[in-house]
Amino acid sequence: MTDDLLGRHRAVLPDWLALYYEDPLEITHGEGRHVWDAHGNRYLDFFGGILTTMTAHALPEVTKAVSEQAGRIIHTSTLYLNRPMVELAERVAQLSGIPDARVFFTTSGTEANDTALLLATTYRRSNTILAMRNSYHGRSFSAVGITGNRGWSPTSLSPLQTLYVHGGVRTRGPYASLSDDDFIAACVDDLVDLLGHTRAPAALIAEPIQGIGGFTSPPDGLYAAFREVLHERGVLWIADEVQTGWGRTGEHFWGWQAHGQNGPPDIMTFAKGIGNGMSIGGVVARSEIMNCLDANSISTFGGTQITMAAGLANLNYLLEHDLQGNSRRVGGMLIERLRAAAAHVPAVREVRGRGLMIGIEITKPGTDEADPQAAAAVLEAAREGGLLIGKGGGHNTSALRVAPPLSLNVAEAEEGAAILENALRSIQ
């Protein structure tokens, strides 16, 4: 029973391991864009296990690939040649846009970002990292050290010197009132000033759209302008595509492409959606950066055959069915539907995002003050209506996160929007 499972969870797992809902949910199975709980209740899933079930629950093409690979061999480690790993690496390298790319697979986005930091600091012989305010890059010791979101950074101890840059949040902070062009110019001026006061950094790491931060983003072109400044000084650009990759934003296959006027990033990290639930993360970098390590290394579970088989099948499905285009079309309709609904709810400060990556910021009506209690109430009301969504936020914000599988159809988008509209109205 779920009640008994909750007690067992609390008895044996850490207190800081977050659970959604006053009455936490046990999800037992899923199909398409729906999941079911232990009591048989069906929900439309608009969060996909934190943007990880990217295509669909129980996608036949992926489950078949996993089953067939499991019947042959599940794991051998990176000490042996691995055909599925090479095949997926070839696809990812080609899709990345990074010239002469090399790919290293990990088991998570956290581990991918750890690897990117290792590469950048080794290549540049510097332990100084530039990161964005309100950012999140994982829960390892090095990753929390570069996370600019107090709610997700439990310690200030770090092997890195981290300096935080303006620009990740468009509608808050000292430059919020500026036009997009002036906003970018002000952020670039701040970056130049910051660089004048520190030793040469190894890299800037940035999410094109901040995930845990509440799906906030700068104007298109900010990171291109940053890259111009950084490139002059030899500083690398790491694009954290753990949540924005694989066409989720609709307009682009990678989030960095909204800022790609001066070329691709030097290093890119990915995870979550590529495995559709299997544990895959990875790093893509130019060969001279990837090959800069002068010691041996392996990855016991990174790139194991069963996860690579899942990733290949999932990527093939995504490309063959143009899920990026679906994200653009259905996501565009969904965000407009949610904006229309939010216009009648004073607690909604902003509906933002692109594609199927949508944030709804909740504040106390008539103010810019975050209202986490109201956001939690909407989360609960949506569940009662049969819809699962996420939440996040930083920079003194509370945001709901809407990120369905990329195969979402128009009827499901309309159904979810209606449930979410009722949930938003319930807090008035």
Kindly state the tokens that stand for 182.
Answer: 């002036």
Closest CA to 242 of 219, 208, 218, 266: 208
- How far is Cα 228 from Cα 316, in angstroms, rounded to an integer? 34
Q: pLDDT for 328-358, tens place per residue? A: 999 999 999 999 999 999 999 999 999 999 9
Phi, psi torsion values for 238, nearest 5 degrees: -105, 120
Q: pLDDT for 168-211, tens place per residue? A: 999 999 999 999 999 999 999 999 999 999 989 999 999 999 99
Residue 362 β-bridge partners? 348
- How far is Cα 167 from Cα 185, in angstroms, rounded to an integer? 10
Q: pLDDT for 36-51, tens place per residue? A: 999 999 999 999 999 9
Mean of the pLDDT values across residues 289-306?
Answer: 95
Task: Report the percentage of the chain scoring pLDDT > 90.
Answer: 89
Contact between residue 370 and residue 396 where contact means Cβ atoms under 8 Å apart: yes
The kind and range of the H/E element at 129 are strand 128-132
Mean of the pLDDT values across residues 65-89?
Answer: 97
Would you say residue 288 has pLDDT above 70?
yes
* Range from 161-165, 333-337, 393-397 carrying the lowest mean pLDDT: 393-397
- How far is Cα 69 from Cα 275, in angstroms, rounded to an integer? 14
Would you say residue 371 has pLDDT above 90?
yes
Mean of the pLDDT values across residues 154-164?
Answer: 84
Residue 104 β-bridge partners? 283
Most distant CA atoms of the chain, gap in Å? 61
Contact between residue 195 and residue 233 where contact means Cβ atoms under 8 Å apart: yes
Task: Calculate the CA 30 to chain-centre distance.
Answer: 22
CA angle (210, 211, 215) in 5-degree steps? 70
Q: What is the DSSP letter of 46?
A: S
- From residue 74, alpha-carbon distances to 22, 81, 342 in Å are 38, 14, 48
Would you say residue 3 has pLDDT above 70?
no
DSSP letters of 319-385? HHTTHHHHHHHHHHHHHHHHHHHHTT-TTEEEEEEETTEEEEEEBSTTS--B-HHHHHHHHHHHHHT
Would you say residue 150 has pLDDT above 80?
no
Q: Which domains does the chain have, with CATH numbers?
A: 2-59+322-425 (3.90.1150.10), 63-320 (3.40.640.10)
State the amino acid at position 203 in one-letter form: A
CB-based contacts of 332, cutoff 8 Å, min separation 6 = 250, 355
Structure confidence at residue 142 as a pLDDT band (50, 70, 90): confident
Would you say residue 1 has pLDDT above 60?
no
State the amino acid at position 307 in one-letter form: T
State the amino acid at position 173 in one-letter form: G
pLDDT at 2: 52
State the amino acid at position 417 in one-letter form: A
CB-based contacts of 211, cutoff 8 Å, min separation 6 = 51, 136, 242, 243, 244, 392, 401
**HEC sequence for 383-394:** HHCCEECEEECC
pTM above 0.75, yes or no: yes
DSSP letters of 141-200? HHHHTT---GGG------SSEEEEES-S-SSSSTTTTS-HHHHHHHHHHHHHHHHTTSSP
Mean of the pLDDT values across residues 272-299?
Answer: 96
State the amino acid at position 185 in one-letter form: A
- How far is Cα 198 from Cα 208, in angstroms, rounded to an integer? 24
Contact between residue 168 and residue 132 where contact means Cβ atoms under 8 Å apart: yes
